[in-house]
Chain A
Amino acid sequence: MKRVAAYRVPYPGTQPNHLHPPYVSSIKRAPTKPQIPIPYTLSEVTGPSFGPEIVAPKASDLTRGHGGEPLGARIIVSGRVLDENSRPLANTVVEIWQANAAGRYRHEVDQHNAPLDPNFTGSGQAVTDAEGRYRFVTIRPGEYPWRNHYNAWRAAHIHFSIFGPASATRLVTQMYFPSDPLMPFDPIFNCTADEKARNRLISAFDWETTMPEHALGYRFDIILRGREATPMED
């Protein structure tokens, strides 16, 4: 069996720690014992792959599939999925979920006193093309209150989940919107120490994908961990 090349270690501060006390839910859930370093083996450098047929083409348009149009501002969210070596990652599944325009999730646990929208579920999937591109049509999600602390509000965001080529590249993150005044006060947005890494979670307004008289465009590129050039010594 040939040796297995590792995935690159993130730059310090560019990924959150498990424990981030301002995000109160992390206090009883973050592991307290040191995590055990292990070498990359075949179990870590492989991972699930799904053919593009697993995602229906219409699954990337969150404004369709209901009786009518959802309320709120229609937007186009697009970007590329690349690895740290700038390689486009083709044929990878991208999942998103989000609140409706009023800041309410279609979920039994969400008790926020804002209306549900019968024409919006808030769930979408896409598969990246040969250049690593994905594109969603959706509506701009609303900000919403939560009970983390007094007068706590989440900045507007869209949840993203990406598989990439291996278990090692699996990523769940959140995309934010430029100039949102709530970001400085959102402990989830601020869980990452490195300011530049944090700010890369903010999408960019994008004229190129804005559709005249239809929808504003936002661009959000996602970078998954890249491979070390040479196998580890073992």
Chain B
Amino acid sequence: MSLQATTSQTVGPFFKIGFEWLYRDNLVGDGVSGERVTVQGRVFDGDGLPVPDAILEIWQANAHGKYDHPEDTQNKPLEPGFKGYGRVPASADGVFRFVTIKPGPVPGPKGKEQAPHLAISIFMRGLLKRLVTRMYFPDDARNAGDPILNSIDPARRSTLIAKKTAGGPGTLEWNVVLQGPNETVFFDLGL
């Protein structure tokens, strides 16, 4: 007899009370290797209005492509200053911003390498369960061979790839669009 997973419920508008102690908008500790990037973006609803009560959780490998987790058995180094977890709320204008490093590539299905990416979960008032998506990096030749990107309609792939900005080479823009023609690709993991 197996148990059934507890049903998901919305975080509601007041999640800050419960989540703020673990807010992490800078994932990079002392001595961590890799290319520093600042990711900034906005969350938009179906009317194109910014969502002020959303929160993103980021999970990623380090610059060597190694996750700080026992199931990652690759022979690659961990870095003490890098856990790979971030948690950033949107502001009243729907803006989020975090600092991290570009991860290395990680193994994927059928022995194929996955291009560097951030795994992102999104919670907000009005969402009864979390949204699962990814952010990839601009101008990375490995994107062309990424098995997950390649499983997506080419017309929608760009919603997962951050854009370079005038803010400098280390500043990327990546928006989350909940509905409409530019709707971000969200993944079905059977949740």
Q: Which of A8, A9, A38, A95 has most chain B Cβ within 10 Å?
A: A38
Closest A residue to B121 using CB positions:
A170
A 147-197 contacts with B by CB, 8 A: 159, 161, 166-168, 170-174, 188, 191-192, 194, 197
Contact of A14 among B5, B151, B180 (CB under 8 A): B5
Interface residue tally on B, bucketed by range: 35 or more
Q: Mark each residue of chain A from 79 to 106: 1 if its CB lies under 8 Å from any CB of chain B, else 0.
A: 0001111100000010111100000011
Is B127 a contact of A30 with CB atoms below 8 Å? yes
B 137-191 contacts with A by CB, 8 A: 148, 151-152, 156, 178-180, 183-191
A42 interface hit (Cβ, 8 Å)? yes
Bound: A20/B22 CA distance, A: 30
Q: Which of A65-73, A211-219, A223-231 contacts B (4 or more CB under 8 A)?
A: A223-231
Contact of A171 among B6, B21, B49 (CB under 8 A): B6
User: A122 contacts which chain B residues (CB < 8 A)?
Assistant: 17
A229 to chain B, nearest CB (A): 11
User: A9 contacts which chain B residues (CB < 8 A)?
Assistant: 190
User: B131 contacts which chain A residues (CB < 8 A)?
Assistant: 18, 31
A47 interface hit (Cβ, 8 Å)? yes
Closest A residue to B152 using CB positions:
A36
Closest A residue to B65 using CB positions:
A42
User: A42 contacts which chain B residues (CB < 8 A)?
Assistant: 67, 71-72, 106-108
B64 interface hit (Cβ, 8 Å)? no
Is B46 a contact of A41 with CB atoms below 8 Å? no
Closest A residue to B148 using CB positions:
A38
Bound: A168/B14 CA distance, A: 24
User: A8 contacts which chain B residues (CB < 8 A)?
Assistant: 5, 190
With A28-B178, A38-B187, A105-B14 already in contact, the answer to whether A222 and B71 are too (CB < 8 A) is: no
Bound: A48/B83 CA distance, A: 7
Is A41 a contact of B148 with CB atoms below 8 Å? yes
A118 interface hit (Cβ, 8 Å)? no
